[in-house]
Amino acid sequence: MKKRRTFDREFKQMVIELSNNREDYTALASELDIRADLIYRWRREATKHQVASFPGQGNKILTEEQKEIARLKKELHDAQIERDILKKAVSIFSRNDGKYSNS
């Protein structure tokens, strides 16, 4: 099984700078021993996120508002799961079959 290669931020920025001066990305890719689609993807990400591009290890770049929204969504999801569990527990203990009461 092939091990997946990882490239650091400096390497990606260097490739983008080199690609700005070149027309043929496939030749540049073969010189650097990478795939040409990586150059296109890295260029697209660099233009989209500018300074915050390439955070590393697949981490997304989030603004403070986006982080707060993600945190609140997680809290909401946890509260909904807790509510569903409590609903099931109430339905189990409120049955009138005598199994769960002292009657």
**pLDDT for residue 101:** 54
Residue 24 placed within a domain: yes
pLDDT digits (tens, 9 = 90+) for 43-79: 888 887 766 666 666 666 677 888 899 899 999 999 9
Domain that holds residue 27: 7-57
| Total domains present in the chain | 2
Residue 2 placed within a domain: no
**pLDDT for residue 38:** 87
- pTM of the entire predicted model: 0.50
Contacts 24+ apart (CB under 8 A), 78-82: none
**Left (φ > 0), alpha (ψ -120 to 50) or beta: where does 33 sit?**
left
Whether 52 and 61 have beta carbons less than 8 Å apart is answered as yes
Block residue for tokens 């001066």 = 21
**pLDDT for residue 91:** 87
Is residue 36 classed exposed, middle or buried when 0-12, 13-18 and 19+ CB atoms within 10 A define those classes? Answer: middle
Residue 1 placed within a domain: no
